[in-house]
């Protein structure tokens, strides 16, 4: 998906204005850094033909090296600071990432409570004050080490939990990853009424639905529908989607597959 210039679904575009001479023709809103500079070189080589940009999920330990790389390759990367909602240092880290010029925070995942739990509100409030994007994992989540007991549940990350956050913090720019897999209609409807909420379709969704992409026409049904029951929007309901690759572990081929 190559964004059109006027499209409001470029949640990230606003923040790029300051850093880039040219508006990027492609923004990958979901890339996990593996900590290696070689990966950033590969990523930039993929982005160059599009004057593209990626939101790079960066752990605190990689902050300095990523900042140094960004200086060498201006305009290609914007940072998402990786924090955990239950980390007692979450606010301090949010401030640190903001001071470093990062565009947002994420990917938020595996909270100990539901995303909309009030104990997390100070973090959302801080991010809103900083004008940051928040990237939330939504829906089913992988279970990496099945033998190790884990306090995690996809039920705490249902896409509907973003509704309260979007309403309560109207200036936050929120991206839900994975379109709430498999709760696509809930994700789409939640985005429909929240102008500050978008989703990406990374993960297994486009693989499992590849024989029938038409189902998305019924999920994003409100294109050009004029009705008092729908908010005024652009010509396409698919404006609620942002492009993402969810590249992780240095597997740059995932970027190519997602783009295809």
Residues lying near Zn ion in the complex (CB under 5 A) are found at 137, 177
Evaluate whether 108 touches 115 at the Cβ level (below 8 Å).
Answer: yes
Cα angle for residues 161, 193, 259 (degrees, 5° grid) = 80
Of 135, 144, 140, the residue nearest 162 (C-alpha): 135
Identify which of residues 16 and 154 has a Cβ nearer to Zn ion in the complex.
Answer: 154
Identify which of residues 70 and 177 has a Cβ nearer to Zn ion in the complex.
Answer: 177
Identify which of residues 13 and 177 has a Cβ nearer to Zn ion in the complex.
Answer: 177
State the minimum distance, in angstroms, from the CB of residue 137 to Zn ion: 3
DSSP, collapsed to helix, strand or coil, labels residue 142 as coil
Evaluate whether 219 touches 188 at the Cβ level (below 8 Å).
Answer: yes
Q: Give 199's strand partners.
A: 176, 241
Identify which of residues 137 and 158 has a Cβ nearer to Zn ion in the complex.
Answer: 137
Evaluate whether 197 touches 169 at the Cβ level (below 8 Å).
Answer: no
State the minimum distance, in angstroms, from the CB of residue 246 to Zn ion: 6
Rounded Cα distance, 179 and 235, in Å: 20
State the minimum distance, in angstroms, from the CB of residue 180 to Zn ion: 11
State the minimum distance, in angstroms, from the CB of residue 91 to Zn ion: 23
State the minimum distance, in angstroms, from the CB of residue 46 to Zn ion: 20
Under 8 Å CB-to-CB from 137, ≥6 apart: which residues?
107, 108, 109, 110, 157, 177, 178
State the minimum distance, in angstroms, from the CB of residue 177 to Zn ion: 4
Count CB neighbours of 78 within 10 A.
Answer: 23
Identify which of residues 70 and 175 has a Cβ nearer to Zn ion in the complex.
Answer: 175
The separation between the first and the last C-alpha atoms of the chain, rounded to the nearest angstrom, is: 9
State the minimum distance, in angstroms, from the CB of residue 157 to Zn ion: 9
Identify which of residues 44 and 177 has a Cβ nearer to Zn ion in the complex.
Answer: 177
| The CA-based dihedral angle spanning residues 238, 242, 197, 121, taken in that order and rounded to the nearest 10 degrees | 160
Q: Give 135's strand partners.
A: 106, 175
Q: State the residue number with the nearest CB to Zn ion.
A: 137
Evaluate whether 201 touches 161 at the Cβ level (below 8 Å).
Answer: no
Identify which of residues 98 and 137 has a Cβ nearer to Zn ion in the complex.
Answer: 137
Rounded Cα distance, 143 and 154, in Å: 10
């Amino acid at each position: 998906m190559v964004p059109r210039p006027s499209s409001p679904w470029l949640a990230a575009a606003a923040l790029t204005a300051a850093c880039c001479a040219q508006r990027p023709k492609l923004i990958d809103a979901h890339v996990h850094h593996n900590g290696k500079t070689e990966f950033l070189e590969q990523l930039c080589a993929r982005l160059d033909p599009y004057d593209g940009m990626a939101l790079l999920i960066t752990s605190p330990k990689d902050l300095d090296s990523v900042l140094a790389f960004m200086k060498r390759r201006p305009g290609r990367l914007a940072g998402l600071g990786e924090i955990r909602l239950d980390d007692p240092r979450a606010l301090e880290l949010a401030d640190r990432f903001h001071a470093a010029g990062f565009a947002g925070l994420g990917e938020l995942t595996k909270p100990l409570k539901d995303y909309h739990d009030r104990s997390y509100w100070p973090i959302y409030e801080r991010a809103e004050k900083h004008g940051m994007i928040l990237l939330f994992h939504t829906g089913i989540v992988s279970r990496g080490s099945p033998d190790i007991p884990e306090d995690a549940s996809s039920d705490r990350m249902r896409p509907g939990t973003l509704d309260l956050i979007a309403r309560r913090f109207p200036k936050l720019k929120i991206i839900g990853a994975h379109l709430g897999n498999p709760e696509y209609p809930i994700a789409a409807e939640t985005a429909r009424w929240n102008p500050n909420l978008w989703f990406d379709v990374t993960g297994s969704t486009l693989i499992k639905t590849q024989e029938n992409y038409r189902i998305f026409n019924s999920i994003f049904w409100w294109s050009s529908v004029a009705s008092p029951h729908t908010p005024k929007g652009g010509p396409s309901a698919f404006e609620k989607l942002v492009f993402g690759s969810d590249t992780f572990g240095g597997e740059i081929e995932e970027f190519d597959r997602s783009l295809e």
